[in-house]
Amino acid sequence: MMAAWEKAGGETSTLGARKGDVYPVGDGFGLDFDGGKMFYTTDTGAKYLYGPVLAKYEALGGPADSDLGFPTINEVPGLAGPDSRVSTFSASDNPVIFWTPDHGAFVVRGAMNAAWDKLGSSGGVLGAPIADETYDGDVVSQKFTGGEVSWNKKTKDFTTNPAVLADQLKGLQVALDPTAAINMAWRAAGGAAGALGAKKGAPYPIGGDGIAQDFVGGKIFSVRPPVRTPWRARSWPNTSRSAVRSAATLASPSPTNPTAASRRPAGSRRSPPPTSR
């Protein structure tokens, strides 16, 4: 991290002078500076953020409590003008934090990032993001300066405004692994501020083809599609297969979390209690 700081210009860089020592954070380490922060893992190396991009990252929980992962590039100028800024992150759905002085900092990830990239990212017809993603049932949407993109996670189809842009997205494949599916369901339920609350620990395997994630107010389960065997088991963990064949599903709320019942997605099955840029 010190080598990366010195390469960036040391105290004369945008980061400025070092503040304190290296500290553990999430699955890696952090180091603070007068003008920003640097984060490190063995997979991503040492990368730095500052200003509004760093503020957005930390507002979402940073490397420890968000679902973005660690930065994979140093913050750099974007394509939406000389004042725009961008950094990419290590989560499997390829999240990006993009900032412009006119609209602020927003996350573009998953299907939204795939479509945005296909259409030229911030230098293309869509331009820069002007809002974070929103959810309506199975549909995730995001607005940009040049239009709006929506993606249906069941049908895998894109719709756009203006509608003509959708023609360029036909056949675009969106990879959504179980971890990304869980994180998407968590964000759709309100993230840390929603009924599920903050994450508790790391994801863990279930069954043999899926994972689960605990939260303060419940659980989300996801399996890797397709499910090739009929569901006949009556005991945990195979019960979850019927409920989450191709996406993440919220678990039944506990008596101490009655509000989660009202947040369960329409049509989802109540799972039996487990036995254990």
Confidence of residue 255 (pLDDT cuts 50, 70, 90): very low
Burial class (CB in 10 A: 0-12, 13-18, 19+), 83: exposed
Residue 229 · residue 195 · CB < 8 Å: no
Start-to-end CA span in the chain (Å): 23
Residue 149 · residue 160 · CB < 8 Å: yes
In 3D space, the residue among 273, 261, 254, 181 whose CA is nearest the CA of residue 221 turns out to be 181
pLDDT for the residue 225: 62
**192 pLDDT higher than 80:** yes
**Average pLDDT score over the chain:** 85
Q: Which range, of 8-22, 51-65, 109-123, 232-246, averages the lowest pLDDT?
A: 232-246
Convert 228-258 to b/e letters by CB count within 10 Å (16 or more is b).
Answer: eeeeeeeebbbbbbbbbeebbbbbbbeeebe
**236 pLDDT higher than 70:** no
**238 pLDDT higher than 50:** no
pLDDT for the residue 216: 96
Taking the C-alpha atoms of residue 77 and residue 36, their distance in angstroms, rounded to an integer, is 16
Report pLDDT digits (tens) over 127-165. 999 999 999 999 999 999 999 999 999 999 999 999 999
Contacts of 42 (CB under 8 A, 6+ apart): 28
In 3D space, the residue among 277, 273, 215, 275 whose CA is nearest the CA of residue 248 turns out to be 215
Question: What pTM value is reported for the model?
Answer: 0.81
Confidence of residue 176 (pLDDT cuts 50, 70, 90): confident
Report pLDDT digits (tens) over 71-116. 999 999 999 988 999 999 999 999 999 999 999 999 999 999 999 9
pLDDT for the residue 82: 84
C-alpha separations of 169 from 26, 36, 129, 147, 180 in Å = 36, 37, 18, 14, 21
pLDDT for the residue 264: 39
Q: Is 156 helix (H, G, I), strand (E, B) or coil?
A: coil
Compute the C-alpha angle 162/183/136, nearest 5°: 40
Backbone angles phi, psi at 212, to 5 degrees: -135, 155
**196 pLDDT higher than 80:** yes
Backbone angles phi, psi at 140, to 5 degrees: -110, 140
Confidence of residue 250 (pLDDT cuts 50, 70, 90): low
Neighbour count for residue 133 (Cβ, 10 Å): 23
Beta strands 76-77 and 18-25: pairing type? unpaired
In 3D space, the residue among 28, 23, 145 whose CA is nearest the CA of residue 79 turns out to be 145
> What percent of the chain lies above the pLDDT cut of 90?
77
Higher pLDDT, 233 or 117: 117
Residue 84 · residue 77 · CB < 8 Å: yes
pLDDT for the residue 5: 95
**249 pLDDT higher than 80:** no
**257 pLDDT higher than 80:** no
> What percent of the chain lies above the pLDDT cut of 70?
81
